[in-house]
Amino acid sequence: MITTSIQPLEAPSPAYICPLDQACSYLEAAARELKLDQGLLQVLSHPRKVVTVSIPVKRDNGEIEILAGHRVQHCDVLGPYKGGIRYHPAVTLREVSALAMLMTWKCALLGIPYGGAKGGIALDPKRYSVSELERLTRRYTSELIKDIGPSVDIPAPDMGTSAREMAWMMDTYSVNVGHAVPGVVTGKPLSIGGSLGREMATGRGVMIIVREALADQGKSLADMRVVIQGFGNVGSAAALLMHEAGAKVIAVSTGSGGVYSETGLDIPALKAYAAENRRSVVGFPQAIPINNAELLTLPCDVLIPAALENQITEENVNQVQAKIVAEAANGPVTLIANQSLEARGVTVLPDILANAGGVVVSYLEWVQGLSYLFWDEERVNRELEHLMVQAYRQVINHSKTRQIPLRLAAYTLGVGRVAQALTDRGLYP
């Protein structure tokens, strides 16, 4: 029997906010601030290449299922495309297009010689066996074989994928070209050219940016009350590092629910509990159950949305009590909600800055792979720290100089650098 997961397009719910529309709104705001030429804005608004492939996969029961896989390459004016591969039921072409665009500005903001890309397959990885995931990952890679490469487009893990999937992608690509190519992906296992420090990189980057923002307010992480929505790779890493720095992580959640403790959660114990309970924190002892909606509105010093987009909207923004919101996820705060938070004096640390630690260490892994010289974890973390702090300082200074919010400052820096490079290179022919 042949089945397909490709569904007909349906009208989105009234509460749905299209990530691509939101990304374009931020681009347009930056373009107005920069007074960009309208033609240049049109170039930056459109991805250079969009690839959608059909992925037939044989399930373990013998049935054949057809999945749709996407890869959007937004802009390579600064260097090869770079971006994650996402396995999640909510993956759409418009979402992937938005994330590819954000990756372009993120890389430019951090001074990394990459352009933005993103890929994904609309599936729930929990519904597939390891052998099924391997087969569909390898087929997806083979379908993209002409569109990826260490000098063309370098995928990385994202939501629903990990070092395991990157190993399969690296092997599939290498077998097809006839020799090992460790630089074709990043986020690989250490045994095949991965980098020390990569697993904690995004969470570490979030911690660094929050720490710097608190320092500008004359505070430190010690005793700060932190709430984290999402306890996957990013959220759990940020939670552990902040816990080690003396912060009180009072609440965390996963898709199935969350836990709360007024005196602070034991994060190492919580990580161990989640590892034994299919990544869920529900039922963790010595904590009170809490749902995701309640978690976002808890009184706290720092709120870190580290799950999906569109979590803080105009419907719940007035209940948000955090003094700092650090976007560890991509687009967790909607445009209107962001304006509301800024108007109330809440510090919003934008995603293209706050969650850039992953792409920074991906870049460092790529550099190590191309040179076949590998660094110790201390050096990787030192390089990450330098680039994150440097970018934060540039955003803060830009915000003060232009008297604009942090998000707009980050976007004008990123978009402006790409626009300048495009102007210098010119249009072909």
Is there a catalytic annotation at residue 35?
no
What is the spatial distance between Cα 310 and Cα 335, in angstroms, rounded to a whole number? 9
- Tokens 């306890």 appear where? 231
| Catalytic option among 82, 118, 248, 323 | 118
Q: Give the list of residues 6+ apart from residue 19 with CB closer than 8 angstroms, or none.
A: 94, 95, 98, 99, 309, 310, 330, 331
C-alpha span between 186 and 82 (Å, rounded):
9
Q: Which of 329, 377, 378 is nearest to 354 (CA)?
A: 329
What is the per-residue DSSP string for 383-428?
A: HHHHHHHHHHHHHHHHHHHHT--HHHHHHHHHHHHHHHHHHHH---
Tell me if residue 209 falls in helix, strand or coil. helix
Cα separation, 405 vs 396, whole angstroms: 9
Residue 256 burial (10 A CB sphere; 0-12, 13-18, 19+) = middle
Q: How far apart are CA 392 and CA 112, in angstroms?
A: 14
**Can you count the helices (H) and strands (E) in the chain?**
14, 13
DSSP 28: H
Which residues fall within 8 angstroms of residue 127, CB to CB, at 6 or more apart?
none
C-alpha span between 356 and 347 (Å, rounded): 18
Q: Which residues of 410-419 are buried (b: 16+ CB within 10 A; e: fewer)?
A: bbbbbbbbbb
* CA quadruple 393, 98, 156, 164: dihedral sign: positive
Give dist(CA 412, CA 105) in Å, integer. Answer: 9
Virtual CA dihedral for 370, 194, 241, 407, nearest 10 degrees? Answer: 50
| DSSP line for 114-147 | -EEEEEEE---GGGS-HHHHHHHHHHHHHHTTTT
Contact 375/364 with Cβ under 8 angstroms? yes
Residues involved in catalysis = 118
